[in-house]
Amino acid sequence: MDKDLLLKQFKEYQNRMAAFRFAMFQIRWDASTIAPSKSAAYRNKMMGVLVGDNMAQQRDPKNLDMLEKVSQMEDIDPLDKISAEKFLKAIRKFEKVPREEMVARQQNTAMATRVWEEAKKKNDFAMFAPYLAKNIEHNKKSAEYRGYEGHPYNTLLDDYEEGMTIERYDAFFGLLKEELVPFAKKVHTEGRPIDDSDLYKFYPKAKQREFLDYLAGAVRYDLDRGLISESAHPFTSGASLNDVRVTARYLENYLPASIFLGLHEMGHAMHSQQGDPAHEGKNLGGAGMGIGESQSRFYENYIGRSRAFWQRHFYKLQNIFPEQLKNHDPDSFYRMANRSKPGLIRLDADELTYPSHIMVRYELEREIMSGDVDVNKLPTMWNDKIEEYLGVRPTTDTEGILQDTHWSGGSFGYFPTYALGTAYGAQFYYALLKDIDVEREIANDRMEVINAWLQEKIHRHGGLLTPDELMIGATGSSFDPKNYVRFLIEKYTEIYF
């Protein structure tokens, strides 16, 4: 086939696949934000049509042949060659999964998400359990169809972070369990007390929104190319560098929920907005969910929970909430915002207890994928593990197993990347310190300097590098979780002892 004609077909295919992604992005965003509650059934039916058509395009022998030929070309735009290779890799990943199974999975997860929202509101795990059971079954089937090395869970873990396995995660979480869990218990029993009662005063939602808009400017999240909406579970979604949207969660009796989760999602958004425009619409993706989470947690924790950040921005917050924060200055708010105490809700967890929440979810997923776990026993299993690691026990499923949306969306293997990404962030932070006076730049409201470093070292690469390659390129060495342990112990020792 003529080279120019082949590349023309490839460009048309790229655009068609980008259009599918854009349409499904819009539908999912709408479903999680403003869609009427009774719209789910018809929406899911339409999603099934889109998913089916998408799969048909991907599995069309003519398209596969075209992608094979483009991927083998040498004298073309390197990004097009990589794009074709990534299309083929993604298709081959699921080519052994029957089309009807893929469609059924998509439809079940769409309905499961809506049911989860209701179940969480009503504290009714039983109404969600059948959908969770189906999602578990779909994941197990997917691993069997696709094949795996060593353990079926490895296939799912690799989907979210290339190269990660049970063995690697067991070693990672083993270090955290050995070093951080006992240190956290020491902080909670021996550290000087921090009164955080002012965080639980009444903070009107409208005023919280005002401060979140201010924070968008502080970190340089471009609201001309994004927006801040609201959802039951905060998330970031986008189909373009110029359309990256985040949602927030406002609790009028707990201020940090909107601030730090807002910064978290803005971190995801910055990662996307600072990507390379040349990658637009080419299906190049990102390096992995762990790298993605490293950026959200970077803005949330390494920037947003720093002393310099509140020296710069506390007085704006106090101006918006003068009565609630009248007894504080930047330093006292910094300590209060970083106080550590065992809690039930992952989204509201402090830096020190956060990895324990992820260990609970990782260990449950590992058990689920290892054998036949009775879905109805999962709430008790969840509660037992929370009590083991954090010393507190959920009294409702809403604050227990129903608190996260991920399993409703069929995402097994995703949770571990939260802890992994947070640990990546520590290594990026120490590398950044070698090049930039971070405290000074934050204090002088020069986030663009830090953003430029992150863009150069991380954001611009998109999916052109593996997580390991990106880490070595940005920091000069392979990933070492001891950086994370060091950061937390040094920070909380200074705050509490």
What residues are labeled active site?
Answer: 265
Radius of gyration of the chain (CA): 23
Q: DSSP of 371-435, one letter per residue?
A: S---GGGHHHHHHHHHHHHHS---SSSTTTTTS-STTTTT--S-THHHHHHHHHHHHHHHHHHHH
Q: Which residue has the tokens 């009775």?
A: 374
Q: Sign of torsion, CA 143 154 67 409?
A: positive
Phi, psi of 236 (to 5 degrees): -125, 140
Which run of H or E residues covers position 137? helix 125-146
Q: Are 279 and 261 within 8 A, CB to CB? A: no
Sequential DSSP letters for 155-197: HHHHHHSTT--HHHHHHHHHHHHHHHHHHHHHHHHHSPP---G
Residue type, 283: N
Residue 53 CA, distance from chain mean position: 28
Cα(475)–Cα(429) distance, rounded to whole angstroms? 9
Place of tokens 């992820």: 358
Q: For residues 459 and 428, give the distance between their C-alpha atoms in angstroms, rounded to a whole number.
A: 12
